[in-house]
Structure 1
Amino acid sequence: MTRGLWFVAGAGVGVYAMVRGRRAAEALTIDGVTDRLKGAEVGWQMFRHEVAAGMAEKETQLRERLALAPQVRPELNPGPTADRTDEEQP
C-alpha cells in the first residue's frame, strides 16, 4: 500500500510540474510577453480611471460640504467666446 501511495504522489507531482513548466514556457514566448504587457496596460488604465473618478467624486463632496461653487473646467466648457469667428467680433 505504501508503494502505491508514493507512486500516485510522484505521478501527481510530475503532472503538476509538467503543467507549470508548460505555462512558464508559454509565458516567456513573444506572444506571452505581449499578452502580459497588454494586460498590464489595461490594468493601469483602469486604475487611472478609478482614481480620477474617485478624485472627482471627493472634490464634489467637499465642494458641497463647504458650500463652494462647482468648478468649471475651461477645457471642457469653452464658453461663448470660443464659438465666435473673427467676423462676428466687434
Structure 2
Amino acid sequence: MINQLLIAGAIMTSVLLTGCANNNSDLQNSVGSLNSEVSKLMAQVQQLESEHGTMKTAIQSATDTAQQALEEAQRANSRIDNIAASYSK
C-alpha cells in the first residue's frame, strides 16, 4: 500500500513538473516577444529624440532670424521717422 502511494506520488509529481515546464516555455516566448517590442519602442524613442533635436535647432535658428528681422525693421522705422521729422515746409 505504501509502495503504491509512493509510486502514485512520484507520477503526480512528474506530471505537475511537466505541466510547469510547458508553462515556462510559453512564458519565455511571451518574455521574448515583450523584449522585441521594447527594443522597437526604444528605437522609436531614439528616432523621436533625434527629430526633436533637429526641430529644436531649426526653431532656434528661425527665432534668431525673426529677432534680427524685427531689430532691422525697428531701426528702419526709426530712420524713416527721423527723415520725416527733418522735413519742413
Q: The TM-score by the shorter chain falls in which range?
A: 0.3 to 0.5
Greater C-alpha Rg: 2
TM-score (norm 2): 0.44
Higher percent of residues as helix? 2
Which of structures 1 and 2 has the larger relative contact order (alpha carbons within 8 angstroms, sep 6+)?
A: 1
